[in-house]
Amino acid sequence: MPIAATPIPGSKLVTPTDHTLVMIDFQSQMAFATKSIDAITLRNNAALVASAARGFEVSTVLTTVAEKSFSGPMFSEITDVFPETQLYDRTSMNTWEDAATVAAISAMGKDRLVLCGLWTSVCIVGPALSAIEQGYEVYVIADACGDVSAEAHERAMDRMVQAGASPMTSLQYLLELQRDWARTETYDMTTGIARKLGGAYGLGITYAKQMFNAHEG
């Protein structure tokens, strides 16, 4: 028999209320050695993800490693968006081995996690594989991660995907949270973030609005 299609979104799509975003080790020392993505793009994508999460009121945990003694402060593109959010500083490379950070994640009460940060092969692989083993569903924002080489980043992504993680991109994250342009309460916020941080897509929105007063809805 033919399948009867229904206009219901798939359960694998993320929504603002079904996950916790964990932004990991977006710090100067980690960025200096990152070669798989240039620093400007990385900072832009981190800002896009943070702005999307803040705008859609996503449960968010921010964590750093050896902030005061070695790695430096978290990117201002993130902390400016979350000025009141506690930073969980760790000694462990694997976020999942830090009791305070894991307690904060657990306290959010979500069994779906979205991860991004530096470096992909160490500070993202560790919590991703650990969380999956404990029953969490894990997504990784690939272009808001970086590593010491393209090879290191790509093999880390392969390893996480093979373990069951789902890859996505920063712009995809924003648009998946919006999902429908008829959601007028977040329309201006979403297009505003895209215009500022969405690269060529953002330029297209600006052009369409200014030249034709176009509107996605």
Residue 162 in any domain: the answer is yes
Q: Are both 116 and 164 inside the same structural domain?
A: yes
pLDDT greater at residue 217 or residue 50: 50
List residues with catalytic annotation: 123
Q: Are both 143 and 61 inside the same structural domain?
A: yes
Q: Are both 124 and 35 inside the same structural domain?
A: yes
What average pLDDT does range 108-129 have in this prediction? Answer: 98
Q: How far apart are CA 37 and CA 150, in angstroms?
A: 8
pLDDT at 166: 98
Give residue 210's pLDDT band: very low, low, confident or very high (50, 70, 90): confident
Q: How far apart are CA 158 and CA 81, in angstroms?
A: 31
Hey, what long-range contacts does 76-83 have (CB within 8 A, 24 or more apart)?
77/26, 77/43, 77/44, 77/46, 77/47, 77/50, 78/23, 78/26, 78/46, 78/47, 78/50, 81/47, 81/50, 81/51, 81/53, 81/54, 82/50, 82/54
The domain containing residue 208 runs over which residues? 181-217
Check if the beta carbon of residue 28 is closer than 8 Å to that of residue 67.
no
What average pLDDT does range 12-41 have in this prediction? Answer: 97
Q: Are both 108 and 192 inside the same structural domain?
A: no
CA-closest candidate to residue 173, choices 115, 108, 96, 102: 115
Indicate the average pLDDT of the chain. Answer: 96
pLDDT digits (tens, 9 = 90+) for 140-167: 999 999 999 999 999 999 999 999 999 9
CA-closest candidate to residue 179, choices 17, 3, 60: 17
Q: Are both 199 and 128 inside the same structural domain?
A: no
